[in-house]
A and B are shown apart, each in its own frame.
Chain A
Amino acid sequence: MSDREFDELVDAMRENHNKPPQTPRDRMWERIEAARSERKIVRMPARPWYASTWVRAGLSAAAVLVLGIAIGRMTTTPDAPPMVADSGSTPPTVAVPTGEPAPRSEATTLVRHAAQNLFGRADVLLTDLKISSCSDTKSRPVPAWAGGMLAQTRLLLDSPLCEDVETRALLLDLELVLARIAGLSNVDCTGDVNRIRRDLNDNATLDRLRLAAAGQGMV
């Protein structure tokens, strides 16, 4: 088939192949408007910031944390045996007490529960970060969530829980990661997110968080 013959065929296709009719402008516009107004009606009214599930969970955890730390400070005795990590053990998450385990006060238990709660939520956030996409509004990371957890992490860093060096190291790593997520740009965060993901992998942060959330490796 020569080029001329092919061009003739293409001309014929232009005339015959799925030749569009007149554009039904008004009919389609009416449907577009109807679809958009329908969605506006069914769209839920915006909830105040304090009604968000994440914010409420964060506030509850923070309240428990503050209470626990306050009670802990009031009840801590100076002669309680210190807990140190066994430097010879390979997994970075497991802390081994040197002597008899210290009796746990209710306050310490409270802080521990608050910490486990935080680690569990951080696990969800960081797992979500692994599959999030900055270019897609529906799966973009949410820096505000990290902001709430960051405050709790800093409170925990000031708690008796940090006498355990591994827990302290985990909290410090978490503080850094959360601060970086909280500072992510809304416009283009792909590069930053990739760097955070790389650091998470390098430091095995998620594995350590999961162990800690399950109550392992914490005093």
Chain B
Amino acid sequence: MTDASLVQDILQGDAAAERRLYDLHVDRVFRLAYRMTGDDALAQDATQDTFIRAFDKLGEWRGDGPLGGWLHRVATTVILGHLRKRKRVQSREAQVEDVTVMAGARVDGDPLLRRSIDLAVDELDDNHRLVFVMHDMEGYTHREIADAMGTPVGTAKARLSRARSRLRELLLGTGPMPLPEPE
């Protein structure tokens, strides 16, 4: 079944088609939400909101790209929105200095090292972390990332490169260098 016929069925009120769309994409959306939030309840909320919003706005999908890309654009908007909300009510748990990792250190079985890595990833700004998580942790292609973020592929690649550089700096403790604003 093509994306277009699936969308058409849903717009005509076919509940089974809605569930088909959900089953096709829910794993990736939930995994991304969980990776970004690290919180089961928040990830579930973001996933639910993504599908609710997607079903509401499905008529706006123009069919000029894969439905999954469009759905992930909704998902990234929702996830980043949830993160912004959470940040407003939470203070930062750790400072940049806490994340430094010695070169050559082994991660296996070292809880402190794992914690440092977690903090380093969390230290990235949300847009760069999203690209890093999508590509390096969840295996999205550059094309998929570009579709999800509504940017050209080149921008997605550049953002990933900056995210990785920044992460490397944080892990080596070379000092905080602010990332440029996402274009």
A residues with a Cβ closer than 8 A to B are 1-2, 5-6, 8-10, 12-14, 16-18, 20-21, 23-25, 27-29, 31-32, 35-36, 137
Contact = CB atoms under 8 A, between A and B. Distances in A.
A18 B136 CA distance: 13
Contacts of B35: 17-18, 20
Contact of B31 (A16, A20, A32): A20
Contacts of A6: 164, 168, 171
Given A20-B43, A23-B26, A36-B52, A5 B117 contact: no
Interface in B45-78: 47-48, 51-52, 55, 57, 60
Contact of A16 (B19, B47, B117): B117
A205 to B, nearest CB: 31
B130 interface: no
A50 B40 CA distance: 48
A134 to B, nearest CB: 12
Given A32-B52, A35-B48, A36-B52, A18 B36 contact: yes
Contacts, number: 82
A32 to B, nearest CB: 5
A20 B30 contact: yes
6 contacts: A9-B101, A12-B114, A14-B136, A23-B31, A25-B26, A36-B55
Interface string B96-137: 000001011001100000100110010000000000000011
Contact of B44 (A2, A24, A35): A24
Contacts of B30: 20, 23-24, 28
Nearest to A39: B52
A28 B44 contact: yes
A17 B115 CA distance: 9
Contact of B136 (A8, A10, A32, A137): A10
Given A20-B43, A31-B48, A35-B48, A12 B107 contact: yes
A8 B55 CA distance: 40
A17 B137 CA distance: 9
B48 A16 contact: no
Nearest to A25: B26
B117 A35 contact: no
A22 B52 CA distance: 21
A29 to B, nearest CB: 6
B31 to A, nearest CB: 4
Among B104, B107, B118, the most chain A Cβ lie within 10 Å of the Cβ of B107
Nearest to B118: A17
Closest 10 CB pairs of A and B: A12-B107, A20-B34, A18-B38, A20-B31, A23-B30, A1-B103, A18-B35, A23-B27, A14-B137, A16-B114
A21 B40 contact: yes
